Structures are given as structure tokens and as C-alpha cells.
Amino acid sequence: MKLLVTGGAGFIGSNFVHHILNKYPDYKIVNFDSLTYAGNLENLKDLEGNKNYEFVKGDIVNPEDVAKAVKGVDLIVNFAAESHVDRSILSPADFIRTNVLGTQVLLEIAKENDIRFHHVSTDEVFGDLGPSDPPFNEDTPYDPSSPYSASKASADHLVRAYVRTFGLKATISNCSNNYGPYQFPEKLHGLFITNLMEDKKIPVYGDGLQIRDWLYVEDHCKAIDMIIHKGKIGETYCIGGDAEKTNLEITKKILELMGEDESKIEHVKDRPGHDVRYAIDFTKIKNELGWEPEVNFEEGMKKTVEWYKENQVWWKAVRDGSYEDYYNKQYK
């Protein structure tokens, strides 16, 4: 099988590329990425020279770029997205361009070439939950709160429209918050861990009582693996980590693992329109495909902290933009 993985140099995409090539040594992967700030080929440096791996620089909004990359491809797995909520508040247009228009370009080319399509989405399309509300599931109505989640909701609807109108062979997954190796250090785990390593404060939004369901990235990759091999065409699958924690709980766990105390916490002004709670009911994928998370919260947190400690050269260069400049010069 030959896969086109869009956004394969990003956090989840690069973990997925590693997972697939480790599990299926005969598969071929084309990693298609525009190498924006969050796309980093250092995440995949160990694959250089692998005959089953190829990198192609391109933009999913550009049909010519995509058309060249899909030759001989059996499956497109779409990770390519602008994904940081704070950035979407500052610049919504960038999110509409990549997440909506880019997805439509991919869908059109998948339709024209009869290529199976899997779209990776987020639980944020559902809005937020009250303290006693049941977790999100595949039937939860969409109610996005931010420009980011609205753009992802739009992309999800486009995928469903292409399935219904054109008979495209496609599936969707909506996952909870990921964490683990190679995550850009603007997100909670990476930011807090790296700040502490540089003896800086860690900024907690508001009271820190916002609740998220945390999913270790390797478990997410295994879920997508199951969906693309065993999932039913036209279906959506919710992927959760079974680990609802407040941001403050995550903060305190990081402090504990880093040997620091709560004096390092700095409460800052809350994000506009900040969702209160996310939680995922993954009953469907568990019952139909046999997936459930394998890495529990304690183990995942320890592995994540250790990874950032052991990869300081990586995150410092990513944060400073060194890798971005280097690879963009190589792949003009």
C-alpha cells in the first residue's frame, strides 16, 4: 500500500509516519508538507535513506502540488492543518485557507483519482461540555467555539458531503487532546516542560480548571491505523484517552515530575471564548474495531517529560525557528 500523509512533518503526522513504517515495512509513504513553523523534518531524520519513505514539499491548497504527489497513491491521510487555537484568534484567515480550502482541494483530487481518504479532526468541533454532560460521541451536534474549531468543523462537513454526493471512499476521526514526542513547544505540555527547564514561569489560563481528555499520541496513531484498515467507509470514529484532567492537574503533575513547586505557576488572562470541558466517548471504535488507549495518564506524562529532557537540541531549535529556516532553504 502507498500512502500520502499530508502534514507528515508535524507532531501527530510524524508520529504516524513512524508508526506505519515500523508496523508495515512493505508500505510506502509520501510525506507531503509545506514546512510551516509546526512542520519539522528533524522529526523524521531517522527515515532519511529509507526506500519506502519520500518527502515532497507542497501546499494542500495548491492543486498542482497535490496532483503531482498523489501518483500511485492508494490512501490519503490528512493531518495537514493549522491547529493552535490562540493563533486562530489572531489570524482566522490562515485557518480557513488551510483547514477548509486545503481539505476541499484534497477531496477533489481524491475523487478524481478514486483514492481512499481519511480525515483527522478534533473533538473541538463539538464545542464544550458542562460538568455533568455526557462525553462527546459520533452523534453529538457540532457547536465550534473558535476560528480553529469552526474551520475543522467545516472540513468535516466537506468530507461527509463528498461521501454522500460523489461516493468518495472516506472516513473521519475526531480525537481528544494529544501529547507526547515531537509536539511543537507552544502547546501546554511542551511549553510548560521547556519553560521549567529554562527556569521560567509556566502560564496557566485563568483558574486552570478547564478540563481536557488527554490522549497519548502513539495511541492516536494506532487508532487511525485501525480505522484505515478496518473502518467502515462513510463513518466517523471518536478517539479518546480516558483521561479527563484539568489544566491545573496537568500543570501540577509536570511540576511534580520536574521536581518543582507551585511557585512556578503564573495565572494569566484567560483565552477569549475558552471551552470549559472536552471528553470523548470512544465506545464505537472500541466495540467495532477493538481499539482502546494503552498508555495511561501517569505513564504518558513520564514518557513525555523524559522525551523533552532528552531532546533539548530539538525543541530549542524548533522554538527558535532554526530547523524551519534550514529545511525551507533545502526544499524551495
* Catalytic residue list: 123-124, 148
Give the start-end residues of each E strand in the chain. Answer: 2-6, 28-33, 53-57, 75-78, 116-122, 170-175, 177-179, 202-205, 211-216, 236-239, 244-246, 265-268
Residue 294: which of 282, 306, 284, 312 has the closest Cα? 282
Q: From its phi and psi, is residue 215 left (phi > 0), alpha (psi between -120 and 50) or beta?
A: beta
Residue 282: which of 320, 236, 323 has the closest Cα? 236
Q: In this structure, what are the phi and psi dihedrals at residue 169, rounded to the nearest 5 degrees?
A: -85, 95
Mode of pairing for the β-strands spanning 244-246 and 211-216 = antiparallel
Number of neighbouring beta carbons within 10 Å of residue 90: 9
